[in-house]
Amino acid sequence: MAERTEGVSTSSTGVQVIRRVATILRAVKDAPSGLSLAELGRVVGLPRSTVYRIVKTLAEDGFLTVGPNQNGVRLGPELAQLGATARRSLFNIAHAQMQEMSRAANETVDLAIWQGDSIRFVDQVIGEQRLRAEVIVGMTFPAYCTANGKAFLAELHPSALATYFANHKLVKLTPNTTVSRAKLVKELNEIRETGVAFDREEHTEMICAVGLVVHDMRDGGVAALTIAAPAQRFYEREKFLAMMLLDGKRQIEEELSRS
């Protein structure tokens, strides 16, 4: 027999929580571009404080990812991993394509997710050249000066982007780092049009990258794919690498749609 506290069954309360979690996950699934906490609260009909507690817990366990300043709530990688027993996940399909791209370009290919206010690298296929670009999987980089980060920022709703700028100082990490908000906003507008973002020695001197966002329309999963290279090989090949990345994105998303 279920215990009762103040006339409310604890089992009923538990069911209510589960239903709220399910409602929030479904709402986020139906908005692959992300929802703010306020927007999510309106969609599911729950107080912002309740939504915040549930989202915070789900994000800690990887079932949701939360953009800057609690905006851009999206489905997290843990859901994709749970679904892998029934179908191939975004990460699995992306890794196979990353191997192909790394072989073709002979450069390092990375996969990253948005986590908190940063970009976290979750997978990497390293190029075979002696001089190459590489990071440690698990590291986090700022968004405003990286190709994968700018690709994510370009997808934020204007209000969420304004909040991001209001709460993040643009620090000049290299001579090429853009610290002008107006200039960066213009660049993000261009990224929305082309679908491709560039890091031209903006995070690390002598290292460049091209990046874009890949979507799994089945469950709202999203990740950023990048090709990184030493500057001396990048500039003369950046258009080629961008086209390769766009083709890789197309193949990944097509394969996901068939899974």
Q: Does an H or E element contain 17, and which?
A: helix 10-29
Same domain, 74 and 94: no
Same domain, 218 and 176: yes
The pLDDT assigned to 5 comes to 40
Same domain, 125 and 203: yes
Beta-bridged to residue 108, according to DSSP, are 228
As given in the structure block, the two tokens for residue 237 are 């090949």
Same domain, 95 and 219: yes
Q: How many domains in the chain?
A: 2
Same domain, 50 and 165: no
Reduced 3-state DSSP string for 167-179: HCCCCCCCCCCCC
Q: What is the mean pLDDT of residues 113-138?
A: 80
Same domain, 145 and 178: yes
Same domain, 59 and 170: no
Residue where one domain finishes, among candidates 81, 102, 122: 81
Same domain, 77 and 91: no
Same domain, 160 and 95: yes
Q: What is the mean pLDDT of residues 112-122?
A: 83
Q: What is the pLDDT of residues 21-34, one digit of tens each?
A: 988 988 887 776 67
Same domain, 117 and 156: yes
Q: What gap in Å lies between CA 172 and CA 186, rounded to an integer?
A: 18
CATH of residue 63's domain is 1.10.10.10
The pLDDT assigned to 9 comes to 47
Same domain, 209 and 234: yes
Percent of the chain with pLDDT over 70: 87
Q: How many CB atoms lie within 10 A of CB 15?
A: 11
The pLDDT assigned to 67 comes to 73
Q: What is the mean pLDDT of residues 228-241?
A: 94
Chain-centroid distance, C-alpha 105? 23
Q: What is the pLDDT of residues 68-116, one digit of tens each?
A: 665 678 878 776 556 544 335 888 889 999 999 999 999 999 999 887 6
The pLDDT assigned to 81 comes to 58
Is the per-residue pLDDT at 213 higher than 90? yes
Same domain, 140 and 231: yes
The pLDDT assigned to 69 comes to 60
Higher pLDDT among residues 186 and 29, named by residue: 186
Residue 22 domain boundaries: 4-81
Q: What gap in Å lies between CA 178 and CA 189, rounded to an integer?
A: 15
